[in-house]
Amino acid sequence: MKLAITGASGQLGSYLLDELTGKHEVIGIDIIETPHQAHQDIVHRADIRTPRTLASWLKGVDVVIHCAAQVSVENSIKDPIGDMDTNVRGTVGLLQTCKEMGVGKVVYISSAAVYGDPLHVPISETHPKQPKSFYGVSKASAEDYVRVFTETKGLDHVIVRPFNFYSRRADPLSPYSGVITKFVQMARSNRPLTVEGDGEQTRDFIHASDVAAMVCQVACSDVKNQTFNCGSGKGTSINELALAILRASPNHVEVVHVAPRIGDIRHSVGDVSKARKLLDFEPKMSLDQGMASLF
């Protein structure tokens, strides 16, 4: 099987390359160079917003895993047109090129941001899509394009909605790094872990390698035209996360609380029963194991 990964230089894309290399023929596509030496020869420069540059790389490809995206909520608010240009127009152009080049299936990496404020927890795949940011809107809209391409053009798909994934490959300098990456940087710098609000808000944390394992499973199987949540299925409070960081860190730092973030979602935990039932998927890395790996 031949697979192509867009956004291959990113955190998840790099783990996908690790998972697939040696098992299948795989190429990576990204607008930037990969920072990982092992991937230098298989990641190629191309922009999903210019479909003509993609066609030659998709020749003979069976499955495309589409990770490339503008992923900053903050940037989507500052520049909604740019966010839409990459996440919607770029995705539509990629889908059209996939169809023209005979690609059989697209695995679209969406986001739990499509759900917005949950009406119930855990959040199932049938939960209404009510995004609160332009980023969430663009990911939800791209999902609809993916689905309609199946209905009108016969291009099979799988949509994967990861919750909060993390790894050592997350960029600590990024303005939209997750809370885990920020906590680790604070601990390494002997700075207090800063918890916004009372810290009882919950999130569903999963290591990027586990997300990659699930994505590779749906990409390389007969599963098609389905949507899956990808998470641990367990709610972890930010206070509990801070304690896990303290257990893993060689430095002893304090935890301090500051004012809550305006508009912050209180609880976000995925219902992953569908992935368990249809894919027999279970994350391998516990939160404590994951925190230890970061140090």
Catalytic residue from among 108, 135, 145, 166: 135
Amino acid at 8: A
The closest of 217, 243, 244 to 230, measured between CA atoms, is: 217
Active site residue 176: no
Smallest CA-to-CA distance from 1 within 28, 21, 31 is with: 21
Strand-pair category, 202-203 with 236-237: antiparallel
Is 76 buried (19+), middle (13-18) or exposed (0-12) by CB count in 10 A? buried
Q: Tell me if 49 sits within 8 A of 89, measured CB to CB.
A: yes
Cα 115 to Cα 81, 223, 293: the distances in Å are 21, 23, 30
Residue partners of 254: CB distance under 8 A and separation at least 6: 192, 193
Which residues, in sequence order, are CB contacts of 164 under 8 Å at separation 6+? 112, 178, 179, 180, 203, 204, 205, 206, 231, 268
Q: H-helix or E-strand containing 38?
A: none
**What residues are labeled active site?**
135
